[in-house]
Structure 1
Amino acid sequence: MWLVLFYFFIPISSISAESRLFGPGLRASFQVPVRYFYLQTYDANGQKLNHSTQPLDRIEFHLTRVSDQLSVHSYRKIDDLNDGTYLFRYRLYESVKDLHLYIRFGNEDIEHVIQGYIYSDGCYCPETNLTQWFDAFECSASRSQLRTDMELFKTIDMKQVLEKATLKYFQHPQTYALCHYVIKNNKIYRKCYGEHTGFKMFSDAIFLSLSRKVVMPDVEFLMNLGDYPLSDTNDDPLPLISWCGSEQTYDIILPTYEITEATLQMLSRTTLDIFAMSTTRHLPWSKKIPKGFFRGRDSCPERLDLVRLSRKHPDLLDANLTRMFFYRDQISEFEPFAPHVPMPEFFNYKYQISLDGTVASYRLPYLLAGDSLIFKQSSSYYEHFYRDLMPHKHYIPIKKDLSDLIEQLQWAKAHDAEARTIIKHAQRFTQRNLLPNHILCYHVQVLQEYAKRLISPVQIHSDMELVQHETDESHIKKDNCHCHRLEMSTNTGYGTRAPGIVYSCLIKNNSDAEVTIQVEFSGLADHHREVVDIELAKGEEQIVDEKEFEHGEQQTKYRKGIELIRVKQFDGKTIELKKPFDGVASPKQNWVFEIENDAIKSVDPQK
Structure 2
Amino acid sequence: MTLTCPKDYYPTRFEQYQDSSTESTCPEYFKWIHEDLKPWKRTGITREMVERGQNVSHFRLVIIQGKAYAEKYAYSYQTRDVFTIWGILQLLRLYPGNIPDLELLFETGDRTVVEKQNFQESPPPPIFHYCGQKNAYDIVFPDWSFWGWAELAIRPWEALLQSIEEGNKKIKWKDRLPYAFWKGNTMVSYKRYDLTKCNASDQHHSYAHIYPLSWDKEIERGFKNTKLEHQCVHRYKIYVEGVAWSVSEKYILACDSMTLFIEPIFYDFFTRSLVPRKHYWPISNTNQSMCNDIKYAVDWGNANPDKAEAIGKAGTSFIEENLKMKFVYDYMFHLLNEYARLLRFEPTIPAGAVEICSENFACPLNGIWREYMVESMVKSPSDTPPCTMASPYGENEGEEK
- Preserved CA contact (<8 Å) 2:236 2:260: yes
- Preserved CA contact (<8 Å) 1:351 1:373: yes
- Preserved CA contact (<8 Å) 2:278 2:315: yes
Alignment partner, residue 350 of structure 2: 461
Residue number among 198, 212, 232 corresponding to 2:115 in the alignment: 232
Change (3 A) 1:271 1:208: closer
1:441 aligns with 2:301: no
Q: Aligned ranges for residues 231-310 of structure 1 at < 5 Å?
A: 231-236=114-119, 237-261=124-148, 273-280=160-167, 281-298=169-186, 299-310=188-199
Residue deviations 1:15-41 (CA, integer Å, cap 9, x gap): xxxxxxxxxxxxxxxxxxxxxxxxxxx
Change (3 A) 1:427 1:128: same
Alignment partner, residue 399 of structure 1: 284
Residue number among 62, 69, 75 corresponding to 1:189 in the alignment: 69
- Preserved CA contact (<8 Å) 1:182 1:221: yes
- After the TM superposition, which parts of structure 1 deviate over 3 Å for at least 4 consecutive aligned residues? 123-133, 135-139, 155-158, 195-198, 266-272, 474-477, 483-486
Aligned residue identity for 2:105: L
How far 1:157 sits from its partner (Å)?
A: 3.2
- Preserved CA contact (<8 Å) 1:222 1:240: yes
Alignment partner, residue 200 of structure 1: 81
Aligned residue identity for 1:320: Y
CA distance in 1 between partners of 2:159 and 2:246 (Å): 15
In structure 2, stretches of 5+ residues that fail to align are 2-8, 217-223, 364-369, 375-379, 386-401
Alignment partner, residue 596 of structure 1: none
How far 1:381 sits from its partner (Å)?
A: 0.5
How far 1:260 sits from its partner (Å)?
A: 4.1
Change (3 A) 1:373 1:459: same
1:209 aligns with 2:90: yes
Residue deviations 1:458-491 (CA, integer Å, cap 9, x gap): 22222221113311123466xxxxx9999xxxxx
Alignment partner, residue 210 of structure 2: 319
1:140 aligns with 2:47: no
In structure 1, stretches of 5+ residues that fail to align are 1-92, 94-122, 170-175, 326-338, 478-482, 487-555, 558-607
- Preserved CA contact (<8 Å) 1:139 1:438: no
CA distance in 1 between partners of 2:279 and 2:381 (Å): 43
Aligned residue identity for 2:178: P
Residue number among 221, 229, 246 corresponding to 2:104 in the alignment: 221
CA distance in 1 between partners of 2:147 and 2:209 (Å): 30
Residue deviations 1:331-389 (CA, integer Å, cap 9, x gap): xxxxxxxx934322321111101111221121111222222111001111111011110
CA distance in 1 between partners of 2:58 and 2:225 (Å): 32
1:390 aligns with 2:275: yes
Aligned residue identity for 1:180: R
**Structure with the larger helix share:** 2
Q: Aligned ranges for residues 465-504 of structure 1 at < 5 Å?
A: 465-474=354-363, 475=370
- Preserved CA contact (<8 Å) 1:127 1:485: no
Change (3 A) 1:165 1:286: closer
Change (3 A) 1:322 1:283: same
- Preserved CA contact (<8 Å) 1:243 1:255: yes
CA distance in 2 between partners of 1:379 and 1:365 (Å): 14
How far 1:127 sits from its partner (Å)?
A: 4.9
Partner of 1:309: helix, strand, or coil?
A: coil
Identity of aligned residues (%): 22
Alignment partner, residue 368 of structure 1: 253
Partner of 2:269: helix, strand, or coil?
A: coil
- Preserved CA contact (<8 Å) 1:378 1:397: yes
**Structure with the larger strand share:** 1
Q: Aligned ranges for residues 102-181 of structure 1 at < 5 Å?
A: 124-125=10-11, 127-129=13-15, 138=24, 140-142=26-28, 143-154=30-41, 155-166=43-54, 169=55, 176-181=56-61
CA distance in 2 between partners of 1:268 and 1:294 (Å): 20
Q: Which has the higher contact order (CA 8 A, sep 6+)?
A: 2
Residue deviations 1:248-295 (CA, integer Å, cap 9, x gap): 211111111112437xxx998789622221122431223211000111
CA distance in 1 between partners of 2:381 and 2:76 (Å): 41
How far 1:227 sits from its partner (Å)?
A: 2.0
Aligned residue identity for 1:164: R
Q: Aligned ranges for residues 65-76 of structure 1 at < 5 Å?
A: none
Number of residues of Structure 1 aligned to a counterpart in Structure 2: 339
TM-score normalised by length of structure 2: 0.76
